[in-house]
Amino acid sequence: MNAPFVPPAHPPATAQNLAALPLIEKWISLPTVSRDSNLPLIEWTRDYLASHGVESHLVHDETGRKANLWATLPADSAVEEVERNFFIRQPVLWQ
């Protein structure tokens, strides 16, 4: 018989590892059903990054209704709210 599943222990919540929570809450509040456009999420995130001085690049699909967002922060960036090498990609696989 297999041993019982024991979930991995998670580190305690701290201010540092909860700093991204408002950003995550915003992302999950935006509609991202795969049959619909992902542009509200992508454009909001692009604008968020721009407000922190981060340049990004959108790559649209053939329909123009979906896009990938590419952004890279320099290693010496003073931006604290955004993860290094930030990248959001919602693949267009099922339509």
Q: Which tens digit of pLDDT belongs to each residue from 37-79?
A: 999 999 999 998 898 888 899 999 999 999 999 988 766 555 5
Q: How confident is the model at residue 18 (pLDDT cuts 50, 70, 90)?
A: confident
Q: How confident is the model at residue 87 (pLDDT cuts 50, 70, 90)?
A: very low
Q: Give the C-alpha separation, 25 to 18, whole Å.
A: 11
pLDDT at 78: 52
Q: Which two tokens stand for residue 24?
A: 């995550």
pTM over 0.85: no
| Cβ neighbours for 4, distance < 8 A, ≥ 6 positions apart | none
pLDDT at 77: 53
